[in-house]
Structures are given as C-alpha cells and as structure tokens.
A and B are shown apart, each in its own frame.
Chain A
Amino acid sequence: MTAESGPGRVDDVGLRVEAPAEGLVDVFLDERRIWSFRPRDVAARDGDLWVVPWPTDLVPFLVGEGRVTVRVPDDEAPAFDGVVRLGGGSGPISVVDSYGRPMVVESSGRLAVIFGSDAVPDRVLDTVEDVLGRLNAAGVSAFPAYGTLLGAVRDGALIGHDSDADLAYISEFSAPVDVMRESFRLQRLLERAGYRTMRYSGGAIKIEVVEEDGFVRGVDVFSGFLLDGHLGLMGELFVPFEREWLLPLGTMDLAGRTLSVPAEPERLLEATYGPSWRVPDPAFRYEKPEATDRRLSNWFRGTRVKRPEWDRRYSMARFTRPAHMGPHALAQHLAEREGADTTVVEVGCGRGQDAYWLAGRGHRTYAFDFASAGYAALDAAATAEGRPVSYHTLNLLDLRHTLAWGARLSRLTGPRAMLARHVLDATNIRGRRHLFRLARMTLGGGGRLYADIVTGDPHAPSLAGTLLYPLDPELVAEEAAELGGRVVEAEQVTTEHTGQPPVGASSLETTAYRMVMEWGA
C-alpha cells in the first residue's frame, strides 16, 4: 500500500473528509471521476470532518484495491489520496457495467454510464433530431430541455456527466387533462414510428434508444404547458414564465446538429438551475418547492407506484438468479384444477416462469407485467422454442391498459383462467380494482382467478424486501364482489418464499393466503 496523503480517510463504510458544506467534492478511482457530491446533501458532521457513506449502488463494486482520490475542486492538495483495499478483495476495483463501460454515481445516487467527453452518441443525437422534428410536425413546440439544453447553450455539446437526453415541448393546451391526452397521442405517434417507449407519468415518457453495442440509453420527452402566467414543465417546474420567452422557437447547434430551442433558452435554464447555471455542477440536485411537487404529482402521477423498485429488482435478478426456475405452487394448483384446453392469463408474471411452464403443458398463455426486464429472458426462450405463450407489458395502474387489454382478452374463445400470484398485495387499491375489472372482462363468460396474497403483520421479518403489503382477505373478497367476483376457495397455504428468503431464514417455505375467485357466465 502506498502512502496516503490528505487529512481524510477512506474505508469500507465510506469517506471522512474535510470540505465546505456547500462546496463540491469529487471522488476519483484510479484518476477517473466516479462520484461528486455536496457534503450537506449526503454527509453527517463529525468534528472537522464530514462522514460520507458510499452510495448504496456503488457498494457491490467496491471490492479489491484501487487508488482513491478525493478532491475539493478549488483546493490544490487532495482531501485524500491513496491506494485502499475495500470489501476484503484483492483484484483491482472496477466500476463498470456488464458491457465493461465505466459507470458514475449520478446526483440521484444511481449508477449510470455517462456520455463522457470522447464518444459522440450518434444514435441518441439521431433520435433527438428525429423526435424533435416529429413533435414539431405534430402541432407542439419541441426543444431540448434540462441537461441537454444546458449542454447546447453552454458548450454546443452533450454534457459529459449526463447519461441521457432530455426533450420537452410546449402544448397549446393549458388544462392538465388535455396536456395528458395529447401526451398519449404523441406516444402513439412515436410508437408507430418504431420507437420503444415507457411512460413515467401522464406528462412524461422515455424513448429507449439501443446503441450499436446493445446498450440502452434514454431520451426523455417532457410535456410543458402555460397556465395562468406559469410554465408547467414535467417533471420539475411550475414557475412564473412568459410565453415570449419560449415562442417562437429559435435554433441552436448541438454536436453539429441544428435543433429547435426556446426563444430565450437562458430564461428556462435559470428557472431550472438557478442563476449559477453557467457553472458546471455534476452534483446538482433539483430542489422542488413542496407546492410544485404536490401540484405536478396530483395532476400527472400515480401510475408508477413501486415501479422503480421492481425494475431494480429484476435488473439485479438477471445477474443473480436463473430465469429457468420451476413453477410456483399457485401455478401448479391452477394446472391441477383447469383443463389443458384452458387459456391462462397471468397478471404480474415477474420473471415469467409460471407462464413459461404452463405453456409447456399446452396451455395457451398470455403473461403480463409492468416491468418487462423480469420476463425478457423467458420471453426470448419461449419464442425460440415455439411455446404458446406471449409476454406483454401491462400497467394495472393505468385505466387505458386495463380497459384495452380487457376488451382484447374478452374476445378469447374457450375456457379461460387467470393467475395473479402476489399481485393484489403488491399494488394499491386502484391496481386491485383494475385487476378485478380485467378479470370481469376476461372471465365474463365464466372462469376462475387464482391469487396468493400475504396477510398479517406488515412488519414480519419474512416480508422484508419482498415489496408486498399484507391484506385482509375479507377486504379483497369485498373488492372482488364489487366487480362480480365470488370467492370459491380460501385457505392458508405453505408455499415458497417470494423473492429471496430473509437473512437467517432456515427454510425456503413460508405461508400465503390463497384465494380462488369465480366470475359467472
């Protein structure tokens, strides 16, 4: 180990450094910046030093040896510089993704592959240019926003420490309901143009751009509108603003492309980043006034409850757990009671193994989940093998998904059944009502819904990390009855753990409450 310099310390827990509370601190691994933060955002004070825990997402990568340098940008000497051994490992510490690309902790605390200063992400820029053209032709006024606008105005390039591109448009509508209807229409327009999209809220979508090496980057499209002298811009702003500061749009160069921009882009940048927007700040955090957050959330949000947590779980599960696992007990229960000619509709299929197994037994199967990362591997396998199963994204919290798929599934012929393993207890009341609505539409000609839920103490150790919330079976029965469902079977069963068993659990078994509900002809 080489000599350490600087007053700070670095260990498995984190950093202990001297730095101004409001100032920026950069952390380098082998001379590459991996993290920037402001002590007041992430640290606790201990005498003269700030105690800064490593970001949770970074911890799994901090195994081995590496040279860590901690710098306060204006100081000549580093706050810490030395080779450290972390996590009990011996090889070099490497913070890279599965493609070997260097990752950086973003201001949100998440790890991301940033644009960096070398490569120009052509496909992202192609998408930015094309989507702006399509949106402007579709009747809204579209331009780069947030970090992408900042990069264009400041440097004529994408910001090196950014990881995705942001676009926005100004709607001619003022009422949020109309702004959202328009956003739905524009999403269809982009899907029809061949883009794969994901909806963040009623006023924001992400376009997934697959780069040449298979890496997926996001181009976010945010709705904006003018209402009572204010600019509302998803997902951060509701500020006093003049129409003339935005329209008519001007143009500006970004990495060699001429793009439409607001009439006075500086006004928007100041409203977003404050008066110091010209100074680069990789640790910048939006600090939304509570009133803005309430306003935008109540108008536009509510369809992504726990979605980031499930996405994260599945993105990690891909690396840690095989997709080809056997069926759960509930799927076997269904298979024992339903004929082989029964079409099965599974909602909340997760990794997709139950649908895959049921299709292997000859059931025509439709499998749905709002997070496609979970089932991607078995979707590909089932397609290659010609199994009679199709996987789709369906968001139970969005009425449009529920009604459109309900109408589509209502046209199925022959006997059908539904499977919903730990879905009712993973969603909220809107999701439960929509599931029962979907069941009513799908099983209207007669059929059963098989569901497992957890009951009892919400703080039980067996539920830690499961993302499940215990329900009262009587409440579930009442909610189903409101939409025509009748409980025909209900019992406590011994079944497998949901997700990973809790640390220290001696058994893979746990209990669930099983409910079979029937919809009559």
Chain B
Amino acid sequence: MTETEHVRGRVRRVTRRILLGDLAERIDRLEAEVDECRRLHLRLAELTDVVQELLVPLSAQDPDRVKAVLDRYSDELGS
C-alpha cells in the first residue's frame, strides 16, 4: 500500500465515522448476532433429534431394547 493510498484510506475512515457515527460498526455487530442466532438452528435440530429418537426407548429400561435402539440410531446416521 502506497503512502497516498494509506492516507486516503484514513481520510475515508475518519469521514465515514464523522458522517455515519458508528453505524457501520453496528451493522457488522448486528450481522454477527444474526449469524449467531442462525447457527443455533442446527444445534437445536441435532439435540432434538437425539432426544426424540432415544429418550423414550431409553427410559423404558429394557436392556435389549436400549441396545437395539442405540445400535440402530448410530448405524443409520450415514457418513
């Protein structure tokens, strides 16, 4: 980066800050927060699937049934 480009960049940044306050930073932060919320969908889906598929059969406390359910669930996950 040349010195001129460097100075131009600084001027641009300072101008932006003066004109827009911290709006750009707030948008970045909001985007990050939206991303964070979106990422919870996959975690929640995984967790719900495990609970729904395994909880009831496991609570039956039938050892053979528990083994069969665990084996089948893990074998059918694909790769």
Residues of A within 8 A of B (CB): 175-178, 180-181, 184-185, 187-188, 191-192, 196-199, 202, 205, 294-295, 298-303, 370-372, 392-393, 395, 398-401, 403-405, 407-408, 411
CB contacts under 8 Å to A, within B31-78, are 31, 34-35, 38-50, 52, 54, 58, 67, 70-71, 73-78
Known: A181-B45, A299-B41. A404 touches B35 (CB 8 A): no
Give the most central of B39, B42, B54, B70: most A CB within 10 Å: B42
Is B73's CB under 8 angstroms from A202's CB? no
Known: A181-B48, A184-B49, A294-B35. A302 touches B78 (CB 8 A): no
Known: A197-B78, A370-B79, A393-B79. A407 touches B70 (CB 8 A): yes
Choose among A196, A205, A298, A407 the residue that contacts B54 (Cβ–Cβ < 8 A). Answer: A407
In the A-B complex, the 10 residue pairs with the smallest Cβ-Cβ separation, listed nearest first, are A298-B38, A180-B45, A393-B79, A197-B78, A399-B46, A191-B76, A404-B74, A176-B41, A177-B41, A408-B70
Q: How far is the CA of A385 from the CA of B71 in the complex (A)?
A: 24
Is A199's CB under 8 angstroms from B47's CB? no
B-chain residues with CB within 8 Å of residue A188 when the two chains form the complex: 76
Known: A181-B49, A184-B45, A404-B50. A198 touches B38 (CB 8 A): no
Interface size on B, residues (CB 8 A): 29
A-chain residues with CB within 8 Å of residue B73 when the two chains form the complex: 404
Q: How many residue-residue contacts, CB under 8 A, span A and B?
A: 97
Q: How far is the CA of A234 from the CA of B52 in the complex (A)?
A: 25
CB contacts under 8 Å to A, within B4-53, are 31, 34-35, 38-50, 52
Q: How far is the CA of A197 from the CA of B78 in the complex (A)?
A: 5
Q: How far is the CA of A177 from the CA of B49 in the complex (A)?
A: 10
Is B79's CB under 8 angstroms from A299's CB? no
B-chain residues with CB within 8 Å of residue A401 when the two chains form the complex: 74, 77
A-chain residues with CB within 8 Å of residue B39 when the two chains form the complex: 298-299, 302
Q: How far is the CA of A407 from the CA of B57 in the complex (A)?
A: 13
Which residue of chain A has its CB nearest to the CB of B58? A407
Choose among A178, A202, A399 the residue that contacts B50 (Cβ–Cβ < 8 A). Answer: A399
Q: How far is the CA of A400 from the CA of B39 in the complex (A)?
A: 16
Determine how close the nearest CB of chain A comes to the CB of B3; give it in whole angstroms.
28
Determine how close the nearest CB of chain A comes to the CB of B77; give it in whole angstroms.
6
Q: How far is the CA of A407 from the CA of B48 in the complex (A)?
A: 16
Which residue of chain A has its CB nearest to the CB of B49? A184
Is B42's CB under 8 angstroms from A302's CB? yes
